[in-house]
Amino acid sequence: MARQLHARRIEGIDKNIWVDFTQLAADYKVVNLGQGFPDFSPPSYIQEALCKAVNGGCSMHQYTHAFGHPPLVSILAKFFGRVVGHEIDAFEDILVTVGAYQALFCTFQALVDEEDEVTVILFYCVHVINLEKVEGGKALTSADWVLSSEELASKFNPRTKAIVINTPNNPLGKVYKREELQVIADLCIKHDVVCISDEVYEWLTYDGAKHVKIASLPGMWERTVTIGSGGKSFSATGWKVGWAIGAGPIVKHLKTVHQNSVYHCATAAQEAVAQGFQREYELFGTPESYFLQLPEMLNQKRKKLATCLESVGLQPILPEGGYFMISDISSFKVDLNDPSTQDEPYDYRFVKWLIKEKGLATIPVSAFYSPEHRKDFQNYIRFCFVKEDSTLNAAEDILRKWSD
């Protein structure tokens, strides 16, 4: 066709790091510590719940309530109402989505106009706040990166509509302390701003770090959209069950976007996640709780990867939470002579070299930054440690051979 086929709104967003690097990893058949998903199965009880749902008769194969399967929204309201200390209306305050990704999409589409500004900590948007390394020493953990309250306050103005936070954070692994969240909350209240809080890694904290929901702070329930994930909670990312929780007057606008896009999420998967949360509600805080067992298991994998990276001369930043560990690669001198990557950031070139020449996939950290900040973060790459020990061992073997 002679006329322009594409809509202008998609210009500049056709390239996607997850698509590009996932495809590159597949093409070279590498050991993959790049993409953030477990290569082990969910707990048996939730697999059994899905099988039972699929074999549960006609209703499990047909539409359910458009904004969330009633058993799922009911247990989410009960479960998280106890966590945030606020009564949650299952059918007014919750929207179930096709993964947390769609929850974020609905939130932005529903709440942010073109003339609005959004402050995003670490990620790309109109205003980006960079976490800063604590002065006075070499940072070893994600706790050594802190939020500058002065810089954050300077970004609020009459056009600021929302702030986006992610805790536990991807890619750094930082878990925001209550005091840091209170700074954000005070600014939100002062400037009448919505807080969009991505908390998909909420159960995955290590070394005594505690996840705090910003919606639980005084004055924040009515202005917070909390994003969660059944896939991350139960190690079943392919099920794509996510949700947005917040006050009904906010969530109703997200529902408008949802009903005019996907309309509905898979019934059987929602039923299985509902059964998982029902079990966790009954076992919460006990040794039998998967939400306690999973971080205990992943903590060992986290330490294993950190030890491996240190042994070959890399400088890992030990995360307080989440799936990922970033590492400083500035001490590694590599001849990156691929002419096809010469105009790309250093970490992009390094990761492509690592995939093609060494058979190990990671993710460049500068991809998380806006163009004006990207150059300052070219010496870090991201590893996913939520993998079988055999996968981590294979990655370790590659790194040791390279080091030797």
What span, in angstroms and rounded, lies between the C-alpha atoms of 196 and 180? Answer: 15
Architecture of domain 8-42+290-403: Alpha-Beta Complex (3.90)
Q: Model's pTM, two decimal places?
A: 0.93
What span, in angstroms and rounded, lies between the C-alpha atoms of 226 and 232? Answer: 15
Is the Cβ–Cβ distance between 238 and 226 less than 8 Å? no
According to the model, what pLDDT value does residue 393 have?
96
- The tens place of each residue's pLDDT in the chain, 404 residues long, gives 789 999 998 888 888 888 888 899 999 999 999 999 999 999 999 999 999 999 999 999 999 999 999 999 999 999 999 999 999 999 999 999 999 999 999 999 999 999 999 988 863 334 455 676 665 555 589 998 888 889 899 999 999 999 999 999 999 999 999 999 999 999 999 999 999 999 999 999 999 999 999 999 999 999 999 999 999 999 999 999 999 999 999 999 999 999 999 999 999 999 999 999 999 999 999 999 999 999 999 999 999 999 999 988 888 999 999 999 999 998 877 888 888 788 888 999 999 999 999 999 999 999 888 777 788 889 999 999 999 999 999 999 999 998 77
Is the Cβ–Cβ distance between 96 and 227 less than 8 Å? no
Domain range summary for the chain, segments of one domain joined by +: 8-42+290-403, 44-283
According to the model, what pLDDT value does residue 140 have?
81
3-state SS of the chain? CCCCCCCHHHCCCCCCHHHHHHHHHHHHCCEECCCCCCCCCCCHHHHHHHHHHHCCCHHHHCCCCCCCCHHHHHHHHHHHHHHHCCCCCCCCCEEEEEHHHHHHHHHHHHHCCCCCEEEEECCCCCEEECCEECCCCCCCEHHHEECCHHHHHHCCCCCEEEEEEECCCCCCCCCCCHHHHHHHHHHHHHHCCEEEEECCCCCCECCCCCCCCHHHCCCCHHHEEEEEEHHHHCCCHHHCEEEEECCHHHHHHHHHHHHCCCCCCCHHHHHHHHHHHHHHHHHCCCCCCHHHHHHHHHHHHHHHHHHHHHHCCCEEEECCECCEEEEECCCCCCCCCCHHHCCCCHHHHHHHHHHHHHCEECEEHHHHCCHHHHHHHCCEEEEECCCCHHHHHHHHHHHHHHHC
According to the model, what pLDDT value does residue 130 have?
65
The CATH number that domain 44-283 falls under is: 3.40.640.10
**Torsion sign across C-alpha atoms 250, 256, 262, 263:** positive
According to the model, what pLDDT value does residue 132 have?
67
